[in-house]
Structures are given as structure tokens and as C-alpha cells.
């Protein structure tokens, strides 16, 4: 039986060093069901997550962070959860912020809450964010944060086929939510430094260039479609 | 040097060869029949161009192309681009299906694992009850 209507989703790819600690810390915060989506890791990620008390979904092939997250959302919907939190498996996101992310959803003030921490971004990243914000009309400061809370309508939207071909859990996902009329709220939260390894998405300059180019194309393709007035973005601080 | 074939024959042979290769690929089940329509169409067009070159040349002049054969190349290039785009569209559709299937597989394994765990607990409870009854 489920302990709550909330599931915490942790997509993980080769995160054996940190995943167990992340799962344990989430379970310390509340009786949340933790679902680790093992994105075809080649190390002990699945075993460590399982031993720490998480439910583990094993993807047979690597789908990337968003593909893994969507798997978790689809699973959570099938299991009857009404809210999900998504968190990185590298220990950057602090589980103590989970209740704060859930509060606006519980108060029915937002469908999506983004835990943001713009301090972690370099100057180049901040410049890129500003550029993409201008292009899309998104008034969100931290466009790439994977620390988010979604309610049921947002989960349904993100589990749909429309969201399957997205590459990253950032602008594409936010545009989809915004164009569906869902309310997005941003909440400043503290984040810690990555406990081990380096960014998987930005592992090389080539990957950064690829990311920027793909995001630019995505933003351009949505340029005429964006409806900045249909969503409410409010910011708060923890 | 005298050519072995006229250019009409060469073009017609190329068209026929493409058609034969397409039919062979379908026969060997390597090419999906849905994808064959386009290629058979192109092969037929090439054959027609071979047999009726003057008509195509006249058409080129009508469209203001001073050197008519270039029209064929331009149109051909356009068709190739359309075909490549349609291939990418199809690939994207397959990618979506494949991703969702992969996700479903992981989800089903998750459900299976859960029901096995529940079964295990039920069996253990049953065994404990049976032991209790025997002890009494």
C-alpha cells in the first residue's frame, strides 16, 4: 500500500556514489515513496537505490534525464499518485525543501513549482538563460532546474506523447506546460554542490553547443506559439 | 567514339534498374511496402524522361529554364530533399514509439517486482499462521 499520494522521482544514470544518500535523505523528510528511474546505468546505481529503500524502475536503454523522468511520471500516474517531485540523483537538491515545493500546490496556487537556484549558474549560463527567456516569454529565472513539483494535471500533460520527444527537462517542458495554461511558480531554494562527478548534460563543450543549438531551434519553433499571458509565474524565497 | 547506347536508353535502363531493385528489396522483406511507392514512382519518372526527352525539354523552356536538362536535376534534387524529410519524420515517429515502449517495459518490470514482493509477504504470513495453528 502507498504511504502518501506523493512520489519523489529520481532519474539516475551512473550515480552509485550518491543515489543511496539522496534516497535516505528524502525518506528522512517524510513518508514519501521514492522511485529511482535507473537510466540504463552501467554501475551499481540500481542496487544501491534498492538497498536504500527506493522502488527502482530499470530502463533497458538510456533515454536521457527527461526520458527517465517521464517514465517515472507515467508510472506514478498508473499507481494513482496525485503529485510528484523530481530531483537529481547527484545530491544537489536538498530534500528538506520538498514540503516547501508542495505548499503552493496544496494551496491550489500553482500546478508546477520550480525549486530554483540561479546562484549556481556561471555568467555564460545566465546569459543563455536571459536570451532564451526573451525568446520564449518564460518569466522563470532558473530554466534548467530539475527540482520541481507537479500536480495531477501537469503530470497528465507531461506523460502524454506530446512530451516524449523532448530532450531535456527544461524549456521544452516549460513551454508545453505554459501553452497548456498550467500555472508555474518559482521558489528560490538552497542547493548544495554536486557531491560527485560532473554534469551529464554538459559533459563537454560539444554537448553545451549541441544543447544551445537545439534549445535555440526549439525556442524559435515556439516563438509564435508562446502565450505568456496565459500563465501565472510568481516567485518566492525559502 | 560512337556511343553504345542513346541517352534515352541509358535513362530508361537506370529507371528500370531502380524499379527492379525496389521490387527485389520488397520481395526480400527488407523494404517496407509503404516506402516502395515513392521509389517506384521515381523509377517510372526516370523511365518516362528517357523515353520522352523532348517533351521534358519543352516543359523546361516553358518554365524559362534555358538549359532544359538542368530542370530535371533541380526537380530531382527537390524530390530527394522531400524524401529525406519524410524519412526523418518517420524516424521521429518511430523514436517516439520506441521511447514509450522502453518506458512501458521499465514500468511493467516495476509492477511485476511489486506484485512479487506482495506475494512473498502473503506467503510468509500464511506460513506463520500455519505454524501458529500447528503449535496450538
Residue B61 belongs to a domain: no
Residue B64 belongs to a domain: no
Task: State the cell numbers at B16.
Answer: 528500370
What's the rounded Cα separation, in Å, for the pair B97 and A6?
Answer: 28
The H or E element containing residue A200 is none
Largest CA distance in chain A: 48
% of chain A exceeding 70 in pLDDT = 86
Contacts of B122 (CB under 8 A, 6+ apart): none
* Helices B7-27, B53-62: inter-axial angle, 10-degree rounding: 100
Name the β-bridge partners of A185: A113, A234
CB contact under 8 A, A59 and B95: no
Q: Could you read off the pLDDT of B96-134 as tens digits, one per residue?
A: 999 999 999 999 999 999 898 888 888 888 888 888 888
Taking residues A40-53, what's their average pLDDT? Answer: 95
Long-range Cβ contacts of B4-9 (<8 Å, 24+ apart):
B7/B50, B7/B53, B8/B50, B8/B51, B8/B53, B9/B50
What's the rounded Cα separation, in Å, for the pair A52 and A45?
Answer: 11
What's the rounded Cα separation, in Å, for the pair A100 and A107?
Answer: 11
The pLDDT value given to residue A215: 80
Q: Are residues B47 and B79 in the same domain?
A: no
Q: Are residues B82 and B130 in the same domain?
A: yes
Q: Are residues B73 and B14 in the same domain?
A: no
Considering its fold, how many domains does chain B have in total?
A: 2
Residue B58 belongs to a domain: no
Higher confidence at residue A115 or residue A141? A115
User: A160 to chain B: nearest residue by CA?
Assistant: B100
What's the rounded Cα separation, in Å, for the pair B52 and B40?
Answer: 18
Among B62, B64, B57, B15, which residue's Cα sits nearest to residue B40? B15
Query: Which residues of chain B neighbour A71 with C-beta distances below 8 Å?
Result: 102-103, 106-107
Q: Are residues B29 and B3 in the same domain?
A: yes
Query: Picking from A19-23, A188-192, B56-60, which range would have the lowest pLDDT averaged per residue?
Result: B56-60
| Edge-first strand listing for the sheet containing A33-38 | A55-58, A33-38, A6-12, A83-86, A148-150, A112-116, A184-188, A233-237
User: B107 to chain A: nearest residue by CA?
Assistant: A75
Question: In Å, how far are A13, A33, A71, A86, A88 from A26, measured between CA atoms?
Answer: 18, 9, 20, 11, 12
Long-range Cβ contacts of B41-47 (<8 Å, 24+ apart):
B42/B18, B42/B79, B43/B15, B43/B16, B43/B18, B43/B19, B44/B15, B44/B19, B45/B15, B46/B11, B46/B12, B46/B14, B46/B15, B46/B18, B47/B11, B47/B12, B47/B15, B47/B16, B47/B19
Taking residues A19-29, what's their average pLDDT? Answer: 95
- Which DSSP category does B12 fall into? H
CB contact under 8 A, B106 and A165: no
CB A154 within 8 A of CB A177: yes
Residue B27 belongs to a domain: yes
Q: Are residues B43 and B95 in the same domain?
A: no
Q: Could you list the residue range(s) of the whole structural domain that residue B36 is in?
A: 1-51
Query: Which residues of chain A neighbour B107 with C-beta distances below 8 Å?
Result: 57, 71, 74-75, 78
Q: Are residues B92 and B123 in the same domain?
A: yes
Closest CB from B106, B111, B114 relative to A59: B106
CB contact under 8 A, A63 and B99: yes
- Virtual CA dihedral for B120, B124, B129, B132, nearest 10 degrees? 170
User: A56 to chain B: nearest residue by CA?
Assistant: B110
Residue B85 belongs to a domain: yes
Q: Are residues B47 and B73 in the same domain?
A: no
Residue B63 belongs to a domain: no
User: A61 to chain B: nearest residue by CA?
Assistant: B102
CB contact under 8 A, B102 and A60: yes
Name the β-bridge partners of A66: none
How many Cβ atoms from other residues are within 10 Å of residue A72's Cβ? 28
Q: Could you read off the pLDDT of A118-166 as tens digits, one per residue?
A: 777 677 777 887 888 888 888 888 888 999 999 999 999 999 998 998 8
Confidence (pTM): 0.78
Q: Are residues B40 and B97 in the same domain?
A: no
What's the rounded Cα separation, in Å, for the pair B57 and A188?
Answer: 69
Q: Are residues B118 and B81 in the same domain?
A: yes
Higher confidence at residue B86 or residue A208? B86
Q: Are residues B74 and B14 in the same domain?
A: no
CB contact under 8 A, B106 and A55: no
What's the rounded Cα separation, in Å, for the pair B110 and B90?
Answer: 30
Q: How confident is the model at residue B71 (pLDDT cuts 50, 70, 90)?
A: confident
Q: Are residues B126 and B88 in the same domain?
A: yes
Q: Could you read off the pLDDT of A187-215 as tens digits, one per residue?
A: 999 888 665 556 666 667 777 777 777 78
Mean confidence (pLDDT) of chain A = 85
CB A233 within 8 A of CB A186: yes
Q: Could you read off the pLDDT of B5-49 as tens digits, one per residue?
A: 777 788 888 888 888 888 888 777 777 777 787 888 888 888 888
The pLDDT value given to residue A93: 93
CA A202, distance to chain mean position in Å, is 16
Interface of B with A (CB under 8 A): 92, 95-96, 99-100, 102-107, 109-111, 113-114
Checking if the pLDDT of A186 tops 70, the result is: yes
The pLDDT value given to residue B52: 82
3-state secondary structure of A187: strand
Residue B109 belongs to a domain: yes
CB contact under 8 A, B103 and A78: no
ipTM for the predicted complex comes to 0.82
Q: Are residues B18 and B45 in the same domain?
A: yes
Residue B117 belongs to a domain: yes
The pLDDT value given to residue A185: 93
Amino acid at each position: 500500500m502507498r504511504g502518501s499520494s506523493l512520489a519523489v522521482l529520481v532519474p539516475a544514470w551512473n550515480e552509485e556514489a550518491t543515489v543511496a544518500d539522496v534516497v535516505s535523505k528524502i525518506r528522512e523528510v517524510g513518508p514519501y515513496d521514492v522511485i529511482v528511474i535507473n537510466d540504463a546505468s552501467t554501475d551499481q546505481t540500481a542496487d544501491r537505490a534498492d538497498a536504500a529503500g527506493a522502488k527502482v524502475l530499470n530502463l533497458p536503454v538510456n533515454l536521457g534525464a527527461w526520458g527517465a523522468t517521464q517514465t517515472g511520471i507515467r508510472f506514478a500516474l498508473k499507481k494513482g499518485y496525485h503529485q510528484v517531485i523530481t530531483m537529481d540523483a547527484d545530491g544537489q537538491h536538498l530534500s528538506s525543501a520538498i514540503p516547501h515545493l508542495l505548499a503552493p500546490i496544496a494551496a491550489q496556487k500553482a500546478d508546477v513549482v520550480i525549486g530554483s537556484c540561479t546562484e549556481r549558474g556561471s555568467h555564460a549560463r545566465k546569459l543563455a538563460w536571459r536570451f532564451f527567456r526573451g525568446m520564449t516569454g518564460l518569466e522563470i529565472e532558473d530554466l534548467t532546474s530539475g527540482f520541481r513539483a507537479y500536480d495531477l494535471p501537469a503530470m497528465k500533460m507531461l506523460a502524454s506523447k506530446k512530451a516524449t520527444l523532448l530532450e531535456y527537462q527544461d524549456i521544452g517542458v516549460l513551454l508545453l506546460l505554459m501553452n497548456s495554461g498550467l500555472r508555474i511558480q518559482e521558489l528560490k531554494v538552497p542547493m548544495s554542490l554536486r557531491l560527485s562527478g560532473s554534469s551529464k548534460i554538459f559533459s563537454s563543450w560539444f554537448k553545451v553547443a549541441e544543447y544551445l543549438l537545439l534549445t535555440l531551434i526549439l525556442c524559435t519553433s515556439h516563438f509564435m506559439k508562446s502565450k505568456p499571458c496565459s500563465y501565472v509565474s510568481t516567485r518566492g524565497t525559502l | 567514339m560512337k556511343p553504345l547506347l542513346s541517352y534515352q536508353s541509358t535513362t530508361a535502363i537506370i529507371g528500370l534498374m531502380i524499379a527492379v531493385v525496389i521490387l527485389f528489396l520488397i520481395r526480400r522483406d527488407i523494404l517496407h511496402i509503404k516506402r516502395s511507392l515513392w521509389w517506384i514512382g521515381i523509377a517510372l519518372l526516370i523511365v518516362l524522361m528517357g523515353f520522352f526527352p523532348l517533351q521534358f525539354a519543352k516543359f523546361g523552356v516553358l518554365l524559362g529554364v534555358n538549359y532544359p536538362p538542368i530542370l530535371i536535376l533541380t526537380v530531382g534534387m527537390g524530390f530527394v530533399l522531400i524524401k529525406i524529410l519524410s524519412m526523418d519524420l518517420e524516424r521521429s515517429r518511430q523514436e517516439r514509439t520506441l521511447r514509450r515502449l522502453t518506458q512501458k517495459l521499465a514500468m511493467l518490470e516495476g509492477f511485476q517486482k511489486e506484485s512479487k514482493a506482495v506475494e512473498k509477504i502473503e506467503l510468509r504470513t500464511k506460513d506463520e499462521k500455519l505454524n501458529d495453528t500447528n503449535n496450538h
